[in-house]
Amino acid sequence: MARARRTSEFIVIGLGRFGGGVATTLVELGNDVLGVDLNAKNVQVHRDVLTHVVEADATDLETMRQLGAGDFGTAVVAIGTDIEASILTTAVLTDLEVPRIVAKAVSEAHGKILERVGASRVVHPERDTGVRVGHSLTGSMIDFIQLDPGFALVETTAPKDLIGRSLAEAEVRRRYGITVVCIKPAGGTFTYATPDTVVSEGDVLVVAGETDRAEAFGTLA
């Protein structure tokens, strides 16, 4: 008889910096996580942190079948350097009919192949971090999150033009084409922004808008 699928459980393959971070966070959020890695040292490091850890080669279909990989609701393939192993592991998880396979890619081409062999979601952590760091180095921008190709969230310090005025008075939406979502005074905590919110020097704003408008707002001094 087939075992019930453990939809709330995760299998994370590759316990390097990225996979280790994903697996540890999932456990901290209250999930059961099986970690799999070829490398005995990485297995040892995660033994006391994850629910279960196994030293195994994830490219081997039989090994993965015996580990019950097909019973997990979500698999994370966090192998980067060995592209062949990353692709083979994703294909094995597809063969085992894991419903959600999240795979890490180190290049655009790698990402396309991962999608072809069944990854439901491909993440590009190094590329995306590079984009965020690049944005954060321009103007007064602190952080940049691309939600969609055309839409972004920007964290930035308040531009001079807004200081001492409410968001309504400053006509932020009309003039800059962005919406201020929340605001934090220096040393304070975030609260939701309203039209009456008055901006002070040193405030941090989180704004949402079309990417070029949000970027432009983040580069105001």
Tell me which residues touch ligand ATP (CB under 6 A). Answer: 13-19, 36-39, 42, 57-59, 78-82, 85
Nearest to residue 70, comparing CAs of 98, 46, 100? Answer: 98
Contacts of 153 (CB under 8 A, 6+ apart): 144, 145, 147, 181, 206, 207, 208, 214
- Tell me the closest approach of the beta carbon of residue 9 to ligand ATP, in angstroms: 18
- Tell me the closest approach of the beta carbon of residue 98 to ligand ATP, in angstroms: 15
Q: Can you spell out the DSSP letters for 123-166?
A: E-HHHHHHHHHHHHTSTTEEEEEEEETTEEEEEEEPPGGGBTSB
- Tell me the closest approach of the beta carbon of residue 109 to ligand ATP, in angstroms: 16
Q: What are phi and psi of 201, to 5 degrees?
A: -60, 135
CB closer to ligand ATP, 80 vs 209: 80
> Which residue number has the CB closest to ligand ATP?
80
CB closer to ligand ATP, 13 vs 76: 13
- Tell me the closest approach of the beta carbon of residue 23 to ligand ATP, in angstroms: 11
CB closer to ligand ATP, 80 vs 159: 80
CB closer to ligand ATP, 34 vs 207: 34
